[in-house]
Amino acid sequence: MRCLTIIAFVYILRDGGAYGKTRRSEILEQETRLAVGGNTNLTEREDAVNNCLMQAKFRECDYGFTNPQFFNFSHHYFSYKEIIKHSKVYRMIKDIPKGAALHVHDMAMLIPDYLLNVTYMDYLYVCFEQNTVKLRFSKAAPKDTCAIKWQLMKNARKHSGDIEKFDEKLRKHFTLVCDHPDETYPTIKESWDTFLGYFGTVAPMLSYRPVWEQYFYDALKAFREDNIMYVEVRSVLPDLYELDGTTYDPVVTAKAYKKSIKRFMKDYPDFLGAKIIYAPSRLVDRQQLGVYLETARRIKKEVPEIFAGFDLVGPEDQGNPLIEFVPQLEEAGKDLNYFFHAGETDWYGTLTDDNLVDAILLGAKRLGHAYALPKHPILMEEVRKRDIGLEVNVISNAVLSLVRDVRNHPLALFLAQGLPVVLSSDDPGVWEADPLSHDFYVAFVGVASRLSDLRLLKTLALNSLKYSALDDADKINAVDKFNQRWNDFIVNFNCSKY
């Protein structure tokens, strides 16, 4: 029987007995070392940065501890997102090199104002229905059904009489943010319905080929500005189309990615690149899954340099569990790397919950969310043993109603257990969050231990490269580049700036 080093900590403890100060510090020390970042040593300069950071963090935490009614993280993210910018900790985190974003959905990377701008482009048609709005670029009025009538957005806006009000109303379709989130989204039903509505609205607009290519270029720009150096994006790879109605197949969409990435890398050579994870809907039958897997293989063949692997998306509780597709996925696993969403659920002991065991046994390189993992101690050890990256998206889980007070988010346990965590942001545009800084901030101050410090942030950033789909050589290069940037950050750090 082989015992893992991590577990071995447990047995270093002497047998039960009287209280001892040494014993106490041993235990606390063991917990510190076991936690994510616990084995990272800081240089003298890093220590100085850390002191500045922790002074600010302690101030925030301790104010909340003494005045719990004002502790932001016990409330809905929407109720405090606007004041985050006043946080000193946040402003430092913003400047910290954060490595990679490994779990983001392509059509949800940019904020509503960006999408609103897109609606100012020529040839965009709009159809206003009861509670929804349909959008599509076209030379002539689109043929898609419309309860009332298709009109050019330009005309609709002009004839609205009040452009500001018109845009304000339109913008609401591009965001989940609202004034009274607890009332607007009392349960997961309301938040997911609105969330799926968002994609229904924006997908047809963004799938217009030139918009698609520009959107991703601009998304990378926004992510780079948030001090992210590499991105892995999940995409349903929608059929792109032209103004004349020509539509393409998903391989063309993948190629459009390649083109955008290439252009971006040329303009920003310090950026390390991006890869795609083909992630179509899980709400399909086996036959359709077969089509998806075939498409994945074709994409891998056509654009191998940007293809990371395969996943299935959609509301996990409603979609098919992985077990439904095991034989097909097992077979395709010989060609494809998996990055499955798994355990994005509060439902313990259900088929959704079982996705964790199947994702792990299917050899997933990383798990999307893995929110339910702590309810599965054996699987937790499998994750550790197989070194499977856990893509944690705290704000997403809060906004999409898995948890209210983020101090109850399982990330706290993953960090405590020293599991291979990477932080990501899922769909930051939809909740008007920073590409990654808001998630780092909420995780650092709201979820992690009060005592977790710069070592945690550095380890999380490094984890995002370690658990990326970059090949070994690129990974080494990425870590090198990261270390340079990290050192620049440390050397140029000025506490009084914040």
Q: Which of 177, 448, 456, 469 binds a copy of itself (CB under 8 A)?
A: 448
Nearest to 243 by CA among 217, 209, 200: 209
Shortest distance, position 73 Cβ to a copy of itself, whole Å: 9
Interface with a copy of itself, residue 459, by CB under 8 A: no
Structure tokens at 48: 């100085």
Q: Which of 330, 335, 471, 480 binds a copy of itself (CB under 8 A)?
A: 330
Strand order in the sheet with 421-423: 341-342, 366-369, 389-392, 421-423
Q: Which of residues 65-94 bind a copy of itself (CB under 8 A)?
A: 65, 67-69, 71, 74-75
Interface with a copy of itself, residue 333, by CB under 8 A: yes
Burial 365-402 (b: 16+ CB within 10 A, else e): bbbbbbbbbbbbeebbebbbeeebbbbbbbbbbbbbbb
Interface with a copy of itself, residue 324, by CB under 8 A: no
Binding part of the chain for a copy of itself, among 86-94, 210-218, 441-449, 485-493 by CB under 8 A, reads 441-449
Q: At what angle do helices 250-267 and 286-302 cross, to 10 degrees?
A: 40
Nearest to 367 by CA among 412, 328, 420: 420
381 is catalytic: no
Question: Count of H helices and E strands in the chain?
Answer: 21, 11
H or E element in which residue 235 lies: strand 230-235
Rounded Cα–Cα distance for residues 431 and 175 (Å): 6
In sequence order, what are the beta bridge partners of 135?
126
Interface with a copy of itself, residue 22, by CB under 8 A: no
Shortest distance, position 288 Cβ to a copy of itself, whole Å: 21
Q: Which of 54, 146, 211, 403 binds a copy of itself (CB under 8 A)?
A: 403
Q: Which of 45, 85, 262, 385 binds a copy of itself (CB under 8 A)?
A: 385
C-beta of 408 vs 484, nearer to a copy of itself = 408
Binding part of the chain for a copy of itself, among 5-13, 39-47, 211-219, 290-298 by CB under 8 A, reads 5-13
Interface with a copy of itself, residue 59, by CB under 8 A: no
Interface with a copy of itself, residue 190, by CB under 8 A: yes
Q: Which of 82, 182, 267, 270 binds a copy of itself (CB under 8 A)?
A: 182
Q: Which of residues 293-322 bind a copy of itself (CB under 8 A)?
A: 317
C-beta of 447 vs 454, nearer to a copy of itself = 447
Q: Which of 363, 475, 495, 498 binds a copy of itself (CB under 8 A)?
A: 363
Interface with a copy of itself, residue 20, by CB under 8 A: yes
Binding part of the chain for a copy of itself, among 226-234, 252-260, 379-387, 458-466 by CB under 8 A, reads 379-387
Q: Which of 30, 184, 281, 487 binds a copy of itself (CB under 8 A)?
A: 30
Of residues 105, 341, 369, 409, which has the active-site annotation? 369
In sequence order, what are the beta bridge partners of 126?
135, 151
Strand order in the sheet with 124-128: 133-137, 124-128, 151-152
The two most distant CA atoms of the chain are separated, in Å, by 83
Rounded Cα–Cα distance for residues 12 and 39 (Å): 17
Q: Which of 211, 382, 479, 495 binds a copy of itself (CB under 8 A)?
A: 382
C-beta of 353 vs 427, nearer to a copy of itself = 353
Interface with a copy of itself, residue 408, by CB under 8 A: yes
Structure tokens at 17: 């007995």
Rounded Cα–Cα distance for residues 276 and 307 (Å): 5
Rounded Cα–Cα distance for residues 443 and 440 (Å): 5
CB 274 within 8 A of CB 261: yes
Q: Sketch the per residue contact string, 139 through 178, with a copy of itself: x for CB under 8 A, - otherwise.
A: ----------------------------------------
Burial 192-201 (b: 16+ CB within 10 A, else e): bebbeebbeb
CB 109 within 8 A of CB 226: no
369 is catalytic: yes
Interface with a copy of itself, residue 357, by CB under 8 A: yes
Residues labelled catalytic = 344, 369
